Amino acid sequence: MLKDYQYDVFLSHRSVNKPWVETLARNLKNSGLKVFFDKWHCELIRQAGEREIEGK
C-alpha cells in the first residue's frame, strides 16, 4: 500500500548546482509533480520567522 506523501520529489543538491536544479524543479512542478526545493520552501519559513520576531 502506498502512503500519501506531501511531496513526490525532494531535490538535494550542492549550492553551485542550484540554478540548474531550480530549472529541474520548475519543469517537474509544471509536469504535475509536488516538488520540495529548498529555495522555495526554506525562504517561506525564514520569512515567517522574521515576521514572528518583528511581531507582525
Question: What's the confidence (pLDDT) of residue 25?
Answer: 96
10 Å Cβ neighbour count for 40?
14
> Element (H or E) spanning 9, and its range?
strand 9-10
CA geometry: angle 40, 49, 4, nearest 5 deg: 50
Q: Tell me the domain boundaries of the chain.
A: 9-54
Which CB contacts under 8 angstroms, 24+ apart, belong to 23-26? none
Q: How confident is residue 53, by pLDDT bands cut at 50, 70 and 90? A: low
Q: Note if the pTM is more than 0.85.
A: no
